[in-house]
Amino acid sequence: MQDENQVNQMEEEGISKCEGYYIIKYLGHGASAVVKLGQKGHEQVAIKLLKVKNEQERPQKIQKLQQEVQILEQLNNHNYDGIVQLKYFSDNLTYIKKNGQIVNKIGMILEFGEKGSMNSYLLTLKRFNEQASRFYFRQLMTALVYMKGLNICHLDLKPDNILFDSDFNLKIADFGFSKQANGLINDFFGGTKNYMAPELWDRIAYDGSKVDVFAAAQILFKMITGCFAFKNCQEQLYILIQQNDYAQFWNIQNNTHQTLFPQGFPDDFKDLINRMIDPDFNRRITPEQCLQHPWTMNGEANLYQIQEQFNNVQERINQQLKQQEEEYQRQQQMRRDQERADQEMRNLLQQSQQSYKSGNSQKKNPMINKKRQLMKKFKFTFENRVLKKSLPTKMIDEILIYDDPKNLFCSIIEHFDKCGKIINIHETKYKLNVNIMENDQEKQEMLIELKKLEGDKLRVEVLNLGDDFIKFNEEIQNLKQSIQQQRDEVQIQQQ
């Protein structure tokens, strides 16, 4: 009964759906995909949707999906728990938007990492203690040994791609860059810069498993200290390693992290990191050797201790994810606004071209150019801009006019733009704030809004937000004259 009520509530709220799963919230995104939380009854899943800019890009994205699916299917075939499980995939996922519009998406439905990513906990806790770090390092190396046995390498290991299940066990996710290779790889040199091994930067054939070990060294160092050992392989700190100056490298690290390690980093930890970040991947330690290293063999936290520590920060993690979702939505809205602005510009250009073809030159349509220039300068569009109704009452010094609202609004903006007095153009109304005082006087404003009266008649409503009524009345008269002058100029040019 509870599930039925929950479903009814989701239906009423108009929540998006994908393949029968209600889209509960945003989980994260990268350059090529966005991940959302889906729910059907008690089941929760991660829905990874590949970004497709245009139809020309679609075949490439389908191929990328097939490559990742092929890797995941092999990894999931052996009942190993350290890899996220693939549940379903398609290049034609049915996605129903909030407004009821149905679109097709390229993507996959995956096991949900209920406790979030390692990165979320590092951002909140700053660092893990040595016992917890060792616990997760052992789990990570065990996963890499398993993958190596199938000749699979990840090539984009980082805390963002390491998830925790409901018990806080580690699971590796996001195999979008992964490769299956029996020898050296020479057809991919990407990843995330902070974690990329030097052979990727140098674009030479490499051992994929050793690339993963290098990235794991950065992950381990970050778990222990909260920082990278170095920003990337081209930074001066790593150049010390390439010059075999390990002593100077660790002297700098000891000074940087003196609060954490007053006596300096333990020798066994330094030796492990040195072996994992060796510039020559032929000398670099293997995942199996990492597991057998003295530092790794020391005491680690048990799962109960991990759960007790990490459960205490769940609320902070959730708040962090909410902020990330809000930022993502803000960026998406900015992108949509820009796309609408670009479309309006294209429409205006198309209108001008059509006018030209029909014998009406640009000169006879000056408002087209004005609109385009003003929209570009002030970064506004008429998409979703609402023309409110005005009460049919007589107003002192009102400006009444029959005109297209877009043209009139642009005329008002152009008038105040010439004096440099525009403060703000509202996003959804035909409204703007302007400064009515001179530069050397106290700043006062007036609020101007274009509203609709009966028929096609428009009213320019002006509200004084200052005390200088003489200056206010002058500005209204100037605005009236400017609007009339602009209309006269247009009529002359159209004759």
Residues annotated within a binding site: 48
Nearest to 27 by CA among 120, 95, 125: 120
Please name the residues in contact with 306: beta carbons below 8 A apart, sequence gap of 6 or more.
Answer: 132, 135, 168
Residue 77 vs residues 21, 143, 146: alpha-carbon distances, Å: 25, 14, 12
Instruction: Identify residue 151 by its one-letter amino acid code.
Output: N
Neighbouring C-beta atoms of residue 423, cutoff 10 Å: 13
Nearest to 164 by CA among 311, 327, 328, 31: 311
Tokens of 77: 């075939």
Neighbouring C-beta atoms of residue 207, cutoff 10 Å: 20
Whole-number Å distance between alpha carbons of 464 and 46: 53
Each residue of 449-487: b (16+ CB within 10 Å) or e?
bbbbbeeeebbbbbebebeeeebbeebbeebbebbeebb
Indicate the annotated binding residues for ATP: 48
Residue 73 vs residues 62, 76, 79, 317: alpha-carbon distances, Å: 16, 5, 11, 31
Identify any residues that bridge with 434 across adjacent strands, giving them in sequence order: 422, 446
Whole-number Å distance between alpha carbons of 352 and 362: 6
Cβ–Cβ under 8 Å, residues 111 and 87: yes
